C-alpha cells in the first residue's frame, strides 16, 4: 500500500456554472509557479470563432506564449479541453479531450487527442478548458473536484512512478469509494528523461475494477507535463446523464444517437469488427497492400506479418465492453489481461495492458523487423507505464536500427546489438529511456536530434540520415507507408503538427482506388479531409465512428469517402446540442477558422512555412538500390510509362536518382496546389483574404502575417 | 449458394473472390472482402477461394488511420 502524503498548497472554491447548450462558459487557469488558480470567462466571440476543444486550447496557447517561448519555458501552456458535444453519454465516441502545448520535438504547436473520462469530467465540473502554466520543484497534483466545487494545488509525496500505479492510487485516494467518479492524467518516468513523453488519461472500467488508460501520444506533451513538475491532474465528477450538456433538443439528440448506434451494432460485425479487434484489423490489410512499414519504412510487406495480425490478437484480447467513454457502441479500446512481462520492473508480475493498437503493432513490431505478438504487448505496456509515445518510440528505434545495420553507428555507441529483429535490445532501449541512461536516452530525443548527434559525435553520413530518418517538423512519422501515395505524402507533410495521420489518411483513396488522379483532386482532398477531421477535435468527439463503420448503402453515394450520411448526422447532433441551425458545409468553415489560426500560431513560433512542410525522401520513394530492386518492376514501369524514361542500359543507382528527381518535383507541385486550395501564399502562409473571409483577422494575427511579408 | 447482404448468387467449384465480384457485377472498387473469418485484400482476390456455403461481406472502404 502506497503511503501518500498530501499537503495543500492552494485552494480555490468556485461557483459551478450550469452547462448551457454544451458549454460551461469558463475556463480554468492554474499557474503552478505561484499557485495562482482562477476562472476565465468564455465569450460568445470565442465560441463563435474557436468552437471549443482544440480551438479553445489554441486560443489560450496563443495568448500564453510569445515567439521566444520554448517547450520548457514556464509560460508554455499545457491546455486540455473537451468540446460542446463532449460528455454526451449516448452518442458513440463523445468523450475525447484535446491537449496542446509547444512541443519539445518540433518547437511548434502540438495537438493530440485522447479518450478517457477527463475532458467530460472537467467540463461538467464547470470548465470548457484547463490551462496550466509555470513550473515547480515540488511533486504537484492538481485536483479539480466538481462535486465539492473546489480546485486544489497539492504537494503529493509517496506516489509511485509508473502511470498504471499512479492512476490506480489516485483513483482510490480521491474516489472515496466511487472510483468511476475519477479520471487521472499522468505521464511516467520516461516522459522526464526523453522528449517523446506522453500523457495517460484514465477511464474507470467497473467490470474489470480498474483504471484503464488512453494516451495523448504525439509530440512530447507528457514531457512538457513532467518538466513542469506535475505528477497528475485529477478530475472528479458524479453520475453522467444526457441532460447534463443541456441539449437544445433532447429528442432530436436521442434520435440521431440511436440511428448512429444502431448502425454500428448492425454494420461493425460485418465490416471492420472494431468492437472485437479494434484497429488491429488493419495489420493484414496494410501488409497485403504493401503499406505496413517494416525495417524503418524500407518496405511495406513482410512474410511474417500474419504472426502479428488480428487473428493472433483476437483471442488475446480480454472479452467485454471496451468503450473509453460511456455509451460508445464502437467500443474499440481492447486490452490484454494477466499479461506477464519478461523484463523490467514488472517482470514476472501479471499486468493489464491497454492495447495494442495498429500503430503500436506496426511501430514496435514490423518496423523493427519483429513479428512476436507478446513482445509488442510488452513494448506497449512499458511505453504506457513509462509515459512514452509508442509511435515515436517505434519510429525512433527503427531509425537507430537502420543506422546500426548500415554501420553509421556501432556497438561502442549503442552498447548493444541493435540489429533489426533484436527484441531484447528494443526493450532495453525503452527501459533505458525510463531510467534516463545509456543509448536509450539518446534515442528518446527523437529522430531529428539523433541525426544531429550521430553526425556530430560519430561522423555518420548526414545526408543519408536525412533521407532515411522518418521525421518531419521534428515529429516521427506514424505507421503507414506513404511511398506510393502522393496524396498521403501530402497528408503527412502538410499536416500542421507533423506527420500524424489524423489530418488526412488518403492512402486507399489515392493509391488503391485511384479516386484522385489529378493534383487538383488531391489538393481538394487535402483541403476537405483535414478540415473535417479538425471538427472532431473542436467538439470533443472521436473520429472512429465517422468512417471506421459506414452505412450499408454508403458505396452508392456520390463521394463514399466522405460518408455523407454521417456528416449529416453529426450536423444534426451539433444542432441538437447547441441549438444552432447549421448545414454540413458550415462545419467545414468552423474548422477552417481554427485550422488557419493554428497555421498562423506555428508562424508566430517561427515555423509554418513551405520549408517546414518538407518530408524525408524515404517517405516519397526508394532511397537505396536495395529498396528500388525489391520493387523494380513497379518503379521501372513508372519511369517508362509516367515519366517516359528509357530505362534500358541504366543501372539501378541511376534509376534511383532519376525517379527521385520526378517524385520530389511532384511533391513540390502538390504543395503548390494545396496551398492554393487552402488560400495560402506560395510560401504556405494564409493570405489576408483568407483570414478576413474566415473572420480571424484580429490585430495580433495581422501583426504576425505582416512580420512574414503578408500584408 | 453464397450470401452477401441478402444477395444470393450461384456458387461453383473453385470459385475465387475475383470470380464472385465479377458475378455480382458491382462496379464499386472493393479493397477488402471477408469470407467467413478470413479477410482477403485486393491483391489476393484472384487466388482466394470461396468455399461452398461461405458467408461473404464486401467491405466498402477501409477507413484506417
Ligand atoms: S471508438 Fe474507440 S477510441 Fe473512439 S470513443 Fe469509442 S472506444 Fe474510444
Cα(A278) to ligand 1 centroid in Å equals 9
A133 forms beta bridges with A31
Given an 8 Å threshold on Cβ–Cβ distance, is B62 in contact with A285? Answer: yes
Residue B63: per-residue pLDDT? 65
Query: Which residues span the domain enclosing A404?
Result: 272-476
Task: Provide the 10 A C-beta neighbour count for residue A703.
Answer: 10
8 A C-beta contact, residue A582 and residue A576: no
- CA atoms of A625 and A630, how far apart (whole Å): 9
Does residue A113 belong to any structural domain of this protein?
A: yes
What is the number of the ligand 1 atom nearest to the C-alpha of A115? Answer: 8
Q: Same structural domain for residues A214 and A354?
A: no
Q: Could you tell me the CA-to-CA distances from A172 to A58, A169, A478 in Å, in that order?
A: 33, 5, 35
C-alpha cell at A372: 512476436
Given an 8 Å threshold on Cβ–Cβ distance, is A502 in contact with B65? Answer: yes
Lowest mean pLDDT among A273-282, A377-386, A428-437, A528-537: A273-282
Mean pLDDT of A126-151: 98
- CA atoms of A214 and A202, how far apart (whole Å): 6
pLDDT digits (tens, 9 = 90+) for A645-670: 999 999 999 999 999 999 999 999 99
Residue B64: per-residue pLDDT? 61
Does residue A249 belong to any structural domain of this protein?
A: no
Whole-model pTM above 0.90?
A: yes
Does residue A598 belong to any structural domain of this protein?
A: yes
Mean pLDDT of A375-397: 98
Q: Could you tell me the CA-to-CA distances from A516 to A487, A509, A528, A585 in Å, in that order?
A: 8, 7, 13, 21
- CA atoms of A444 and B52, how far apart (whole Å): 53
Q: How far is A598 from chain B (nearest CA, A)?
A: 22
pLDDT digits (tens, 9 = 90+) for A177-216: 999 999 999 999 999 999 999 999 999 999 999 999 999 9
Q: Same structural domain for residues A491 and A466?
A: no
Residue A515: per-residue pLDDT? 84
Does residue A194 belong to any structural domain of this protein?
A: yes
Q: Same structural domain for residues A314 and A427?
A: yes
Q: Same structural domain for residues A470 and A512?
A: no
A471 forms beta bridges with A476
A270, A271, A282: residue with CB nearest B64: A282
Q: Identify the residue among A309, A513, A532 best suited for mutation to test binding to B, counting B beta carbons within 10 A and taking the highest.
A: A513
CA A616 to chain centre: 20
Report residue A706's pLDDT band, with 50, 70 and 90 as the boundaries: very high
Place of cell 463521394: A559
CA A532 to chain centre: 16
- Fill in the DSSP letter of residue A54: H
Q: Same structural domain for residues A286 and A429?
A: yes
Query: Which residues span the domain enclosing B20?
Result: 2-59
- CA atoms of A637 and A642, how far apart (whole Å): 8
Q: Domain tally for chain B?
A: 1
Q: Same structural domain for residues A523 and A621?
A: yes
- CA atoms of A654 and A414, how far apart (whole Å): 34
C-alpha cell at A520: 487538383
Annotate A652-690 with b (16+ C-beta within 10 A) or e (fewer).
beebbebbbebbeebbeebbebbbebbbbbeebbbbbeb
- CA atoms of A143 and A105, how far apart (whole Å): 28
Cα(A98) to ligand 1 centroid in Å equals 14
Report residue A106's pLDDT band, with 50, 70 and 90 as the boundaries: very high
In the predicted structure, residue A1 carries a pLDDT above the cut 60: no
- CA atoms of A38 and A61, how far apart (whole Å): 16
> What percent of chain A has pLDDT above 70?
100
Q: What CATH number is attached to the domain comprising A22?
A: 3.60.9.10
Does residue A64 belong to any structural domain of this protein?
A: yes
Q: Same structural domain for residues A490 and A626?
A: yes
Does residue B22 belong to any structural domain of this protein?
A: yes
Task: State if residue A324 touches ligand 1 by the CB under 6 angstroms criterion.
Answer: yes
C-alpha cell at A366: 514490423
C-alpha cell at A333: 479500446
Does residue B8 belong to any structural domain of this protein?
A: yes
Task: Provide the 10 A C-beta neighbour count for residue A406.
Answer: 14
Residue at which a domain ends, from A449, A476, A503? A476
- CA atoms of A578 and A576, how far apart (whole Å): 6
Alpha helices (H) along B1-65: 17-24
Given an 8 Å threshold on Cβ–Cβ distance, is A512 in contact with B28? Answer: no
Cβ pairs A/B, distance under 8 A? 68
Given an 8 Å threshold on Cβ–Cβ distance, is B41 in contact with A289? Answer: yes
Q: Same structural domain for residues A119 and A209?
A: yes
A288, A478, A548: residue with CB nearest B43: A288
A185 forms beta bridges with A201, A233
C-alpha cell at A666: 511532384
Q: Could you tell me the CA-to-CA distances from A638 to A490, A523, A621, A642, A646 in Å, in that order?
A: 20, 22, 12, 5, 11
Mean pLDDT of chain A: 96
Q: What CATH number is attached to the domain comprising B42?
A: 3.10.20.30
Task: State if residue A93 touches ligand 1 by the CB under 6 angstroms criterion.
Answer: yes
Q: What CATH number is attached to the domain comprising A638?
A: 1.10.599.10
pLDDT digits (tens, 9 = 90+) for A509-543: 888 888 888 999 999 999 999 999 999 999 999 99
Element (H, E) at A412: helix A411-414
Residue A343: per-residue pLDDT? 98
Q: Same structural domain for residues A392 and A356?
A: yes
Question: Please, what sign has the CA dihedral across residues A215, A62, A525, A552?
Answer: positive
Cα(A601) to ligand 1 centroid in Å equals 29
Residue at which a domain ends, from A416, A450, A476? A476
Question: A588 Cβ partners below 8 Å, 6+ apart?
Answer: A528, A531, A532, A535
Q: Domain tally for chain A?
A: 3
Does residue A246 belong to any structural domain of this protein?
A: no
Residue at which a domain ends, from A476, A496, A511? A476
Does residue A320 belong to any structural domain of this protein?
A: yes
Residue B65: per-residue pLDDT? 57
What is the number of the ligand 1 atom nearest to the C-alpha of A93? Answer: 5
Q: Compute mean pLDDT per 10 residues along chain B, 65 residues long, and list them.
A: 64 90 82 88 92 84 62
pLDDT digits (tens, 9 = 90+) for A587-631: 999 999 999 999 999 999 999 999 999 999 999 999 999 999 999
In the predicted structure, residue A225 carries a pLDDT above the cut 70: yes
The pairing of beta strand A471-472 with beta strand A140-145: unpaired
Q: Same structural domain for residues A52 and A106?
A: yes
Neighboring chain B residues of A549 at a CB cutoff of 8 Å: 63
Would you call the peptide bond into A592 cis, given omega within 30 degrees of 0 as the criterion? no
Q: Same structural domain for residues A214 and A310?
A: no
Specify the length of chain A in residues. Answer: 711
Does residue B15 belong to any structural domain of this protein?
A: yes
- CA atoms of A685 and A263, how far apart (whole Å): 41
pLDDT digits (tens, 9 = 90+) for A466-483: 999 999 999 999 999 999
**Residue of A62, A107, A114, A106 lying closest to A83 (CA atoms):** A114
Q: Same structural domain for residues A173 and A197?
A: yes
Amino acid at each position: 500500500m502506497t503511503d501518500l502524503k498530501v499537503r495543500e498548497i492552494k485552494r480555490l472554491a468556485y461557483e459551478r456554472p450550469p452547462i448551457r447548450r454544451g458549454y460551461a462558459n469558463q475556463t480554468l487557469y492554474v499557474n503552478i509557479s505561484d499557485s495562482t488558480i482562477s476562472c476565465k470567462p468564455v465569450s460568445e466571440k470565442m465560441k463563435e470563432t474557436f468552437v471549443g476543444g482544440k480551438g479553445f486550447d489554441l486560443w489560450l496557447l496563443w495568448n500564453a506564449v510569445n515567439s521566444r517561448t520554448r517547450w520548457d519555458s514556464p509560460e508554455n501552456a499545457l491546455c486540455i479541453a473537451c468540446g460542446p458535444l463532449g460528455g454526451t453519454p449516448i452518442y458513440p465516441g463523445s468523450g475525447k479531450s484535446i491537449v496542446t502545448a509547444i512541443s519539445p520535438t518540433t518547437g511548434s504547436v502540438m495537438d493530440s487527442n485522447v479518450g478517457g473520462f477527463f475532458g467530460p469530467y472537467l467540463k461538467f465540473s464547470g470548465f470548457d478548458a484547463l490551462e496550466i502554466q509555470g513550473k515547480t520543484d515540488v511533486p504537484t497534483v492538481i485536483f479539480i473536484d466538481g462535486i465539492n466545487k473546489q480546485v486544489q494545488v497539492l504537494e503529493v509525496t509517496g506516489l509511485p512512478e509508473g502511470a498504471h500505479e499512479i492512476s490506480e492510487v489516485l483513483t482510490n485516494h480521491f474516489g472515496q469509494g466511487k472510483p468511476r467518479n475519477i479520471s487521472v492524467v499522468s505521464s511516467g518516468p520516461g516522459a522526464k528523461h526523453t522528449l517523446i513523453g506522453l500523457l495517460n488519461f484514465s477511464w474507470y472500467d467497473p467490470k474489470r475494477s480498474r483504471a484503464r488508460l488512453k494516451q495523448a501520444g504525439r509530440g512530447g506533451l507528457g514531457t512538457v507535463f513532467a518538466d513542469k513538475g506535475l505528477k497528475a491532474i485529477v478530475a472528479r465528477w458524479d453520475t453522467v446523464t444526457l441532460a447534463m450538456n443541456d441539449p437544445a433538443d433532447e429528442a432530436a439528440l436521442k434520435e440521431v444517437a440511436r440511428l448512429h448506434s444502431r448502425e454500428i451494432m448492425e454494420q461493425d460485425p460485418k465490416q471492420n469488427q472494431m468492437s472485437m479487434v479494434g484497429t488491429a484489423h488493419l495489420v493484414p490489410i496494410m501488409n497485403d497492400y504493401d503499406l505496413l512499414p517494416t525495417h524503418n519504412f524500407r518496405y511495406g510487406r513482410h512474410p511474417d506479418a500474419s504472426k502479428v495480425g488480428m487473428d493472433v490478437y483476437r483471442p488475446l484480447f480480454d472479452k467485454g465492453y471496451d468503450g473509453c467513454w460511456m455509451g460508445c457502441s464502437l467500443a474499440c479500446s481492447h486490452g490484454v489481461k494477466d499479461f506477464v512481462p519478461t523484463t523490467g520492473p514488472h517482470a514476472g508480475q501479471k499486468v493489464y495492458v491497454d492495447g495494442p493498437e495498429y500503430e503500436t503493432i506496426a511501430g514496435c513490431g514490423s518496423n523493427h523487423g519483429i513479428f512476436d505478438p507478446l513482445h509488442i504487448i510488452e513494448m506497449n505496456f512499458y511505453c504506457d507505464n513509462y509515459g512514452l509515445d509508442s509511435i515515436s518510440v517505434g519510429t525512433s528505434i527503427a531509425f537507430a536500427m537502420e543506422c546500426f545495420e548500415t554501420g553509421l553507428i556501432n556497438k561502442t555507441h549503442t552498447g548493444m546489438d541493435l540489429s533489426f529483429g533484436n527484441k531484447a535490445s528494443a526493450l532495453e532501449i525503452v527501459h533505458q529511456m525510463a531510467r534516463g541512461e545509456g543509448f536509450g536516452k539518446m534515442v528518446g530525443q527523437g529522430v531529428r536530434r539523433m541525426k544531429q548527434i550521430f553526425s556530430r559525435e560519430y561522423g555518420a553520413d548526414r545526408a543519408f540520415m536525412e533521407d532515411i530518418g522518418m521525421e518531419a517538423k521534428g515529429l516521427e512519422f506514424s505507421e503507414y507507408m506513404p511511398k506510393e501515395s502522393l496524396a498521403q505524402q501530402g497528408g503527412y507533410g502538410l499536416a500542421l503538427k507533423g506527420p500524424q495521420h489524423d489530418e488526412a489518411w488518403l492512402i486507399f483513396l489515392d493509391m488503391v482506388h485511384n479516386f484522385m488522379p489529378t493534383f487538383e483532386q488531391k489538393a481538394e482532398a487535402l483541403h476537405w479531409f483535414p478540415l473535417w477531421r479538425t471538427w472532431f477535435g473542436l467538439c470533443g468527439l472521436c473520429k472512429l465512428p465517422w468512417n471506421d463503420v459506414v452505412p450499408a448503402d454508403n458505396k452508392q453515394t456520390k463521394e463514399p469517402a466522405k460518408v455523407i450520411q454521417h456528416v449529416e448526422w453529426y450536423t444534426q447532433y451539433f444542432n441538437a446540442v447547441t441549438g444552432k441551425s447549421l448545414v454540413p458545409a458550415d462545419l467545414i468553415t468552423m474548422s477552417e477558422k481554427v485550422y488557419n489560426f493554428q497555421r498562423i500560431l506555428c508562424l508566430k513560433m517561427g515555423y509554418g512555412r513551405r520549408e517546414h512542410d518538407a518530408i524525408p525522401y524515404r517517405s516519397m520513394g526508394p532511397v537505396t538500390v536495395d529498396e528500388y530492386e525489391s520493387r523494380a518492376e513497379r518503379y521501372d514501369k513508372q519511369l517508362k510509362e509516367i515519366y517516359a524514361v528509357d530505362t534500358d542500359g541504366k543501372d539501378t543507382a541511376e534509376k534511383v536518382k532519376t525517379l527521385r528527381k520526378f517524385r520530389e518535383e511532384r511533391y513540390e507541385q502538390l504543395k503548390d496546389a494545396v496551398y492554393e486550395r487552402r488560400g495560402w501564399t506560395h510560401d504556405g502562409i494564409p493570405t489576408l483574404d483568407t483570414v478576413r473571409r474566415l473572420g480571424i483577422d484580429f490585430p495580433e494575427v495581422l501583426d504576425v502575417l505582416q512580420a512574414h511579408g503578408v500584408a | 449458394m453464397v450470401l452477401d447482404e441478402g444477395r444470393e448468387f450461384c456458387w461453383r467449384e473453385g470459385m475465387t473472390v475475383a470470380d464472385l465480384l465479377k458475378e455480382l457485377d458491382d462496379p464499386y472498387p472493393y479493397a477488402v472482402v471477408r469470407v467467413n473469418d478470413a479477410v482477403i485484400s485486393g491483391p489476393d482476390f484472384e487466388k482466394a477461394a470461396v468455399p461452398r456455403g461461405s458467408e461473404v461481406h464486401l467491405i466498402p472502404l477501409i477507413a484506417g488511420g
